Structure 1
Amino acid sequence: MSAHKTYTAGFKVDRPIVLIGLMGSGKSSLGRRLAVRLGLPFFDADHEIEAAAGRTISEIFEKFGEAHFRDGERRVIARLIDGEPKVIATGGGAFMNEETRALILDKAIAVWLDADIDTLVERVGRRDHRPLLKNRDPRTVLSELAAVRNPIYAEAPVRVPSRAQPHEASVDAIMEALANAQR
């Protein structure tokens, strides 16, 4: 694969594209589709962390705590960002770590998938694997997280609303936002 590609949407990809946002914003599902559209490899940072640790995210949180998880997450994201263009989906809290955020902003194209609370609650209700939601009300947790995280996510140079719409329409919106960011 060449070091960079030019796409029909009119933008060049010469470094990784990193999707950030709250849980349920579509980072993994849209990231996979975006990677296919761009002809790039896709990596889900959470899956890479689980593979490196030999444990699930929930097990890491339970056994070692969030601080240990965030340290491993930072190292995995640093490894993923170093190298060829690709699409990377991060966990919702990854961009909150100052070192991780600086690395992403310096060496990648950060794309914030910004979804409203109702959309997020509907999406996260489909599965029960999220440690931060364990035994808690999703709407309350997501509202609290949005209040703290959204101002930090806003540091991303590209923001795309993540709406309740077909995946391909969302990928189109990301492609358009990437093209506009390079103009």
Structure 2
Amino acid sequence: MGAGKTTVADLLGRRWGLSVRDTDHDVETAAGKSISDIFVDDGEVAFRALERAAVTAALEAHAGVLALGGGAVLDDDTRAALAGHRVVFLEVGLSDAVKRVGLGITRPLLMGNMRARIKALLDERLPVYREVASLTVHTDGRTPQDVADEVARLVEAAERTQEDA
């Protein structure tokens, strides 16, 4: 949350001439309402089911850059579907996440003490993100362009290494 996933995905898509797909947008399209409304009307379990379906469909049909929602990898089936794909973890620290997210009005998981909720989410998710990621890029204090440039450099280097192997 607040790492810049969608923004960085858009920058990478333009750089590489690839289409970009955001699974949060796919969930909203499938449900016909915002993520906040899904949480309020249907609950988190319903949202996670829609998210799992969106990620699975995107992995099967999309050959470009894919941005996943911050909680997508918490699902065992989603993690299994990501196996064999290059997954980049955009790591954001608590301070930067709080600054970037703002008041979190449109983020249902941040109701209450925002700073405490973000810290709890980061603490819960960090081990899973690290487990799933094939590459990690730190985003604190950096512009989206700087982050995208580093992701591109690391991905391109990894591709060259695979070709040499």
Please, what TM-score do these two structures have when normalized by structure 2?
Answer: 0.90
Alignment of 1:54-93 (within 5 A): 54-93=32-71
Q: Distance in 2 between matches of 1:126 and 1:140?
A: 13
Structure number with higher strand proportion: 1
- 8 Å CA contact retained: 1:158, 1:181: no
- 8 Å CA contact retained: 1:45, 1:77: yes
- Could you say what secondary structure the match of 1:112 adopts? strand
1:140 and 2:111 are equivalent in the alignment: no
- Could you say what secondary structure the match of 2:61 adopts? coil
Gaps of 5+ in 1: 1-22
Question: Which of 32, 46, 57 is equivalent to 2:24?
Answer: 46
Q: Which residue in the other structure is 1:151 paired with?
A: 127
Question: Which of 152, 156, 164 is equivalent to 1:179?
Answer: 156
- Could you say what secondary structure the match of 2:141 adopts? coil
CA spacing shift, 1:180–1:137, aligned 2, 3 Å:
farther
Q: Which residue in the other structure is 1:94 paired with?
A: 72
Q: Which residue in the other structure is 1:6 paired with?
A: none
Compute the displacement of 1:138 (Å). Answer: 2.1
- 8 Å CA contact retained: 1:40, 1:86: yes
1:128 and 2:105 are equivalent in the alignment: yes
- 8 Å CA contact retained: 2:103, 2:114: no
- 8 Å CA contact retained: 1:44, 1:88: yes
- 8 Å CA contact retained: 1:46, 1:90: yes
What letter matches 1:152 in structure 2?
A: V
- 8 Å CA contact retained: 1:157, 1:181: no
What letter matches 1:38 in structure 2?
A: W
Q: Distance in 2 between matches of 1:36 and 1:119?
A: 25
Q: Which residue in the other structure is 1:26 paired with?
A: 4
Q: Distance in 1 between matches of 2:158 and 2:89?
A: 13
Aligned length: 159
Q: Which one has more relative contact order, counting CA pairs under 8 Å at least 6 apart?
A: 1
What letter matches 2:100 in structure 1?
A: R
- 8 Å CA contact retained: 2:104, 2:110: no
Q: Distance in 2 between matches of 1:172 and 1:113?
A: 12
RMSD: 1.4
- Could you say what secondary structure the match of 2:33 adopts? coil
Compute the displacement of 1:34 (Å). Answer: 1.0
Q: Distance in 1 between matches of 2:158 and 2:43?
A: 37
